[in-house]
């Protein structure tokens, strides 16, 4: 049996004051035909990264809407996660090798996990490339409505990786992508749903936190509250470009010597490469004591991440490639304009000049950071627009409604 993730109870009605009664009533109505439908989400990790973050809320809310939903996590060791990390990068276009041995490892772990997967479900949602072979290797009566949820951008994949993965992906009738253009060529689905990720406005990370409290947390990590703070919250990963953020910060610091930078990143259990990149980031920071590189081993959990997002003067997300960028959503929701890389789902969230700025270079990132630090009034105004943009488009209730609509179409 695969590990089932234990989940807290969550209640849709608690979201009504934020999104409105009508939204909640609609969800309940649309969920009527799906009462007690057995749903399982399967992914690679119960914590770290955006997928785990979303399932943490979506699955309990599916339950509150009357579905019999659960979440299971596949098993793997470093040899498997090294391959899946390469697959994550390769499917997003990185020029890396895919050896026969890597293919064998991926197949072996997918077969093993498929054998351990038990239960009979109405809807099975497989998240991302790690467990994508679960349908191919399925055993017995697991159910026949399978969807593959792709959280990454496979529009320009490395052909070696795409040729290997596409046949497994093609076995699914239903696929969910974040953006239509993310679908790689040569795969065809009977049903293609476009669903953007969302955040939970009531999670410890996103629920309202008094500014003083947030500032207290940040001060506890050694940042000086009398001086401006810029931050990026992200895994330590080349696509998130923490080194570029340091370079941009250095340009800002030339003009504004008092500025401080916090780079906050969690180390996910399925991301062995993270340690290498963390090390690289620390070395790039050198002996500048105004650069604070922090991760979950310093006790930076969800609550602290929320505090950093709330207490920063400017939030940066300088991604070069990005699936969607939940950290952008989280910061916008806290009323912060975000300076983000013009990549993936970031432009859906950052309306350039309104909710933040889209940048495609270190220099532009530095310029916009400085502009916002020098004009707090404008930053505040943009922050208000940012929060409203998220409220309307990127909260978890919208996500739940999209899944319910999809399941109804698959039924």
- Given candidates 64, 70, 290, 330, which one binds ligand UDP under the rule CB under 6 A? 330
Which of 5, 261, 326, 379 lies at the binding interface for ligand UDP (CB under 6 A)? 326
The count of residues interacting with ligand UDP (CB under 6 A) is: 21
121 vs 239 by CB, closer to ligand UDP: 239
Q: Which is nearer to ligand UDP, 34 or 60 (CB)?
A: 60
Is residue 246 a contact residue for ligand UDP (CB under 6 A)? no
Binding letters toward ligand UDP, positions 272-311, x by CB under 6 A: -----------------------xx---x-x--x------
Q: How far is the CB of 262 from ligand UDP (least distance, A)?
A: 11
The yes or no reply on residue 344 touching ligand UDP (CB under 6 A) is no
HEC per residue, the chain: CCEECCCCCCCHHHHHHHHCHHHHHHHHHHHHHHCCCEEEEEECCCCCCHHHHHHHHHHHHHHHCCCEEEEEECCCCHHHHHHHHHHHHHHCCCCCCCCHHHHHHHHHHHHHHHHHCCCCCCEEEEECCCCHHHCCCCCCCCCCCEEEEECCCCCCCCHHHHHHHHHHHHCCCEEEECCHHHCCCCCCCCEEEECCCCECCCCCCCCCCCHHHHHHHHHHCCCCCCCCEEEEECCCCHHHCHHHHHHHHHHHHHHCCCCEEEEEECCCCCCCHHHHHHHHHHHHHCCCCCEEEEEHHHCCCHHHHHHHHHHCCEEEECCCCCCCCHHHHHHHHCCCCEEEECCCCHHHHCCECCCEEEECCHHHHHHHHHHHHHCHHHHHHHHHHHHHHHHHHCEHHHHHHHHHHHHHHHC
Q: Does 324 bind ligand UDP (CB under 6 A)?
A: yes
Beta bridge partners of 71: 41
Please report, as residue ranges, which positions from 52 to 81 form the binding site for ligand UDP (by CB under 6 A). Answer: 53
- Give the one residue of 265, 274, 337, 340 binding ligand UDP; rule: CB under 6 A: 265
Least distance in Å: CB of 317 to ligand UDP?
7
Residue 149 CA to residue 367 CA, distance in Å, equals 37
CB of 57 to ligand UDP, least distance (A): 11
Answer yes or no whether residue 50 interacts with ligand UDP by CB under 6 A.
Answer: yes
Indicate the residue among 117 and 274 with the shorter CB distance to ligand UDP.
274
Closest CB to ligand UDP among residues 67, 355 = 355
> Which residue lies nearer to ligand UDP by CB, 201 or 325?
325
**How far apart are CB 322 and ligand UDP at their closest, in Å?**
7
Q: In the bound complex, what is the minimum distance in angstroms from residue 411's beta carbon to ligand UDP?
A: 29
> In terms of DSSP bridges, do strands 356-359 and 338-341 run parallel, antiparallel, or are they unpaired?
parallel
Q: Is residue 105 a contact point for ligand UDP (CB under 6 A)?
A: no
Nearer to ligand UDP by C-beta: 122 or 304? 304
- CA atoms of 246 and 232, how far apart (whole Å): 10
Question: Residue 245, interface with ligand UDP (CB under 6 A)?
Answer: no
150 binds ligand UDP (CB under 6 A): no
The CB-of-300 to ligand UDP minimum distance in angstroms stands at 6
The answer to the question of residue 327 lying near ligand UDP (CB under 6 A) is: yes
Residue of the chain from 34, 132, 233, 404 that contacts ligand UDP (CB under 6 A): 233
Separation of alpha carbons 191 and 209, rounded Å: 41
Separation of alpha carbons 326 and 170, rounded Å: 27
Listed ranges 137-145, 320-328, 354-362, 371-379: which one lies at the site for ligand UDP (CB under 6 A): 320-328
- From 2-10, 35-43, 48-56, 112-120, span contacting ligand UDP (CB under 6 A): 48-56
Candidate list 84, 89, 266, 312; residue touching ligand UDP; CB under 6 A = 266
Q: Which one, 76 or 323, has the nearer CB to ligand UDP?
A: 323
Nearest Cα to Cα of residue 342 among 363, 327, 357: 357
User: Residue 221 — φ and ψ, nearest 5°?
Assistant: -95, 10
Residues lying near ligand UDP in the complex (CB under 6 A): 49-50, 53, 205, 233-235, 264-266, 295-296, 300, 302, 305, 323-327, 330
């Amino acid at each position: 049996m695969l590990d089932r993730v234990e989940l807290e109870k969550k209640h849709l009605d608690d979201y009504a004051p934020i999104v409105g009664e009508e939204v909640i009533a609609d969800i309940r109505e649309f969920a009527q035909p799906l009462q007690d439908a057995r749903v399982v989400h399967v992914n690679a990790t119960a914590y770290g990264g955006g997928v785990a973050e979303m399932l943490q809320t979506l699955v309990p809310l599916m339950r509150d809407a009357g579905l019999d939903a659960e979440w299971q996590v596949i098993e793997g060791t470093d040899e498997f996660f090294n391959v899946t990390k390469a697959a994550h990068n390769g499917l997003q276009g990185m020029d890396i090798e895919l050896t026969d041995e890597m293919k064998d490892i991926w197949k072996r772990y997918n077969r093993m996990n498929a054998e351990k997967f038990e239960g009979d479900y109405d809807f099975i949602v497989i998240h991302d490339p790690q467990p994508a072979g679960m349908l191919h290797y399925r055993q017995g009566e697991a159910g026949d409505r399978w969807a593959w949820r792709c959280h990454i951008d496979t529009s320009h994949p490395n052909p070696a990786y795409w040729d290997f993965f596409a046949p497994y992906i093609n076995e699914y009738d239903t696929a969910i992508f974040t953006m239509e253009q993310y679908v790689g060529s040569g795969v065809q689905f009977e049903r293609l749903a476009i669903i953007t990720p969302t955040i939970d406005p009531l999670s410890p990370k996103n629920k309202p936190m008094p500014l003083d409290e947030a500032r207290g947390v940040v001060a506890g990590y050694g940042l000086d509250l009398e001086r401006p703070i810029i931050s990026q919250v992200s895994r330590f990963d080349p696509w998130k470009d923490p080194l570029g953020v340091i370079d941009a910060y250095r340009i800002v610091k030339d003009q504004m010597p008092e500025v401080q930078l916090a780079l906050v990143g969690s180390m996910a259990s399925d991301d062995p490469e993270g340690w290498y990149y963390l090390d690289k980031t620390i070395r790039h920071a050198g002996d500048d004591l105004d650069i604070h590189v922090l991760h979950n081993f310093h006790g930076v959990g969800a609550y602290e991440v929320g505090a950093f997002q709330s207490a920063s003067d400017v939030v940066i997300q300088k991604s070069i490639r990005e699936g969607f960028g939940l950290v952008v959503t989280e910061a916008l929701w806290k009323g912060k304009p975000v300076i983000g890389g013009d990549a993936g789902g970031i432009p859906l969230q950052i309306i350039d000049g309104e909710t933040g700025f889209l940048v495609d270079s270190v220099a532009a990132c530095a310029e916009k950071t400085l502009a916002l630090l020098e004009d707090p009034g404008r930053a505040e105004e943009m922050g208000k627009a940012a929060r409203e943009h998220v409220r309307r488009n990127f909260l978890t209730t919208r996500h739940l409604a999209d899944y319910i609509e999809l399941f109804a179409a698959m039924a």
